[in-house]
Structure 1
Amino acid sequence: MASYANRARGANIVLAHAFESDYGVSPGSGFRLVSVASQDLGDEQGRIAPDLLGRGRKPQASSQDVINNRGSLVVPVDQRLFGVWLKQLLGAPTTTQGVAATGQIAFAANPSANDTITVGGQAFTFKSASPTANQILIESNLAKTLRNAVRVLNTSAVAGVAAARYSLNADLNAIVVTHKTIGTAGNTFALAASAATPSGSTLAGGSSSGPYNHVFKAGGLILPSASIEVGNADVGQYRMNYGVMIDTLSIPLARSGNLNATLAYIAQGERAATGSTGAGTPTELAVDRFSQFSGVIAIDGAPIGNVVSGQVVVNNGLDVAENIRPDGRIDGADPGPLTLEPQFTARFGDAYLLGLATSDRPVSMTYDWKAANAALTFRYSAVRLPKPKFPVSGPGSIQASFTSMGETDAANEALEATLVNDVANYD
């Protein structure tokens, strides 16, 4: 009978990841076990066909080409280890422990003209037509009116108002207010309303204890490299890949299925296989995936209705230094132009999205996933929607796809990813 003892199996693969202090130099410690759904790390070196004439039809000797080590990793979007990949993609985060103060203003009916809400000491008045500064247009129903409200609040230049972020709840009948500062500072942020119900006179729940909030921002001039060891314990072989940089990230949002991210990488090389690990005893973190169905896409704080699918897309535009070297490897990969292209497909329900596309007005866009004690948010600061076609290929629903273009906003911000969990740091 055949023996499986000496055959490598994907089920038993072990990947250990550590950040490098110097590009291409594998550290002697600091490795973490990472989980993947698939990977293709490793060197490949092609052959160059001969080009000599006058030697007949028989094949001549080929020669070696340069060494390449690039491909993709498919990793789970989980509550803890995903911070490792975010650091590789965007750079080290700013980490703060605690909880931001929150609250809400709930509405039982569509506001009437001259009703008011007050946030951070600034009053906003609902108007049935022609709103001006600090005024909110009343629409045909409550959801549309509150969509206008969160847009006005999120774009307000009033310092007190700008200290918080505003969104709609799942039922589209309340404005959710979250202070931007983690900790107790937001507990004094005032709320009031003339014909709605605030959760309290101020926001509440702000605390300096609790989970860790890791904020990763795109656009840094320097990005970290890593060493990733691929271990095939079945055959006692360990291969260390070094100088690994992350070029692109994509996360598809769907109704069901495993939530995974695809990371395109570019590495400098792979060391010869050895019979023992070079990663020591890696740290192991529990893997708790975010669920696909918990994902929400929002524009200017208001969830988009009728979304069929979506995708987070970040491209670092790595510029590979393909310099001439005797070992045939690259010299490095430098961060190039950052490209942000958040995408989604929605059923055609009303003219809201089409209106945004034709207005050429930049909007903020967020992709959120939440769990009981963790959260992940990608916040694109300024995005412009393209004007799409509405193709019809049958009697079913009509859908439109939007591949948006992200840009830098007035505060020089383009994208931030926030991961909330129980991990103290990603050093």
Structure 2
Amino acid sequence: MARATGARAQLAAAFETTYGTAPASSYTKMPFARAALGSEQPLLSSELLGYGRDPLAPVLDAVTADGSVTVPIDLEAFGIWLKGAFGAPTTSGTTNFTHTFKTGASSLPSMSIEVGLPEVPHFAMYKGCMVDTLGWSMARSGLVTAEVGLVAQAEAKANATAAGTPSAVTLERFGAFQGAVKQGGNALANIVSADIRYANGLDRVETIRADGLIDGIDPGIASLTGSITARFSDTALLDQAISGTSSTLEFSYTINTNKSLTLTAHAVWLPRPRISIDGPGGVQATFDWQASLPSSGTGNMATIVLKNQRATY
């Protein structure tokens, strides 16, 4: 009997035309490092009396389906997760394409995601998936990955794939050394690490249904937060924190002119941090930042630009 292994696991995704209805085709084989999607239906213990000390049979509660996947930040496949998080981009170019995603979309697309273990065989199709959170960390070295938090409507299990033959992507990953952080258009020096965390604030529509599933998912108030840890060598960030003003922050990975990923937060606010001296080594300061709409109240909180050779998302 074959045993399931992560090395043989498969993940395929496609955007839905109708929420909660898995497409029959147009799936993409997605690279991933970890998949923790699943559904659960808890048991409710009986509260009834009159049958002695031994309990009556429990009752099934409503179904909850959600989880996360860890994916590489690459030139092509990562754009599919960006579309899930921010909506369809505006694309320009003919050979070298520029895809511009923006926060604040009034509606977001849903996806069907199949996680397969062909040895068993076991194929779990998660329908009505929407991206709730998206985040990653930047450092000097290491693998560049992002964690995608998902909320789904339902899980359907089968012994054969329902994704057909998914299309492949050209995998070209960004390296940690290709990262950069800028403030107000100027490169920030002495940045040790940075974290970026985006959340859509998804709200499950928990209506009464005979199947115990949610009726849909509505986007709530979005948030874009993170942290920057810097070796304390100048007061550029500290001065902004003390002044109580905002500035732009830009987080990017660049391979060349036509291959890059850039997230620009247009109005970032910094708290005044505690600067402690913990020994003879270098002194570091951590700024837990928050982004918002620009002070004019117009535009959008952040813009994400992905440059690659893929024509559409």
Which TM-score applies when normalising by structure 2?
Answer: 0.95
On the 8 A contact 1:42/1:269 being kept in 2, the answer is no
Count of matched residue pairs: 310
Please name the residue that 1:331 is paired with.
215
Please name the residue that 2:304 is paired with.
417
Deviations 1:356-408 (A, max 9, x none): 10111110110000114510000101111111111233332222111111111
Match of 1:342 among 208, 220, 226: 226
Secondary structure of 1:248 counterpart = strand
Offset at residue 59 of structure 1 (A): 4.3
Please name the residue that 1:62 is paired with.
58
Secondary structure of 2:79 counterpart = helix
Please name the residue that 2:142 is paired with.
257
Deviations 1:210-234 (A, max 9, x none): 4110000010000000001111111
Which amino acid is 2:41 matched to?
A: Q
Q: Within the alignment, does 1:378 sit opposite 2:263 as a pair?
A: yes
On the 8 A contact 1:244/1:266 being kept in 2, the answer is yes
Deviations 1:323-357 (A, max 9, x none): 22111111111110011113211121122211010
Match of 2:186 among 277, 284, 302: 302
Match of 1:284 among 144, 165, 168: 168
Which amino acid is 1:78 matched to?
A: D
Match of 1:314 among 195, 198, 212: 198
Q: Within the alignment, does 1:230 sit opposite 2:115 as a pair?
A: yes
Please name the residue that 2:34 is paired with.
38
Secondary structure of 2:113 counterpart = strand
Which amino acid is 1:279 matched to?
A: A
Please name the residue that 2:73 is paired with.
77
Please name the residue that 2:100 is paired with.
215
On the 8 A contact 1:212/1:422 being kept in 2, the answer is yes
Deviations 1:283-332 (A, max 9, x none): 10121110112111110011111111101111111111112211111111
Q: Within the alignment, does 1:364 sit opposite 2:251 as a pair?
A: no
Please name the residue that 1:50 is paired with.
46
Offset at residue 56 of structure 1 (A): 4.3
- The runs of 5 or more residues in structure 1 that have no matched partner are 98-208
From the CA coordinates, give the structure whose radius of gyration is larger.
1
Secondary structure of 1:214 counterpart = strand
Please name the residue that 1:108 is paired with.
none
Question: Which sits farther off after the overlay, 288-297 or 395-404?
Answer: 395-404
Q: Distance in 1 between matches of 2:182 and 2:45?
A: 53
Please name the residue that 1:95 is paired with.
91
Q: After the TM superposition, which parts of structure 1 deviate over 6 Å for at least 4 consecutive aligned residues?
A: none
Offset at residue 61 of structure 1 (A): 1.9
Which TM-score applies when normalising by structure 1?
Answer: 0.70
Secondary structure of 1:66 counterpart = coil
Alignment of 1:118-197 (within 5 A): none
Q: Within the alignment, does 1:353 sit opposite 2:237 as a pair?
A: yes
Secondary structure of 2:62 counterpart = strand
Which amino acid is 1:253 matched to?
A: M
Which amino acid is 2:245 matched to?
A: R
Match of 2:286 among 387, 390, 401: 401
Match of 2:17 among 21, 29, 41: 21
Q: Within the alignment, does 1:6 sit opposite 2:2 as a pair?
A: yes
Secondary structure of 1:219 counterpart = coil
How many percent identity over aligned positions? 40
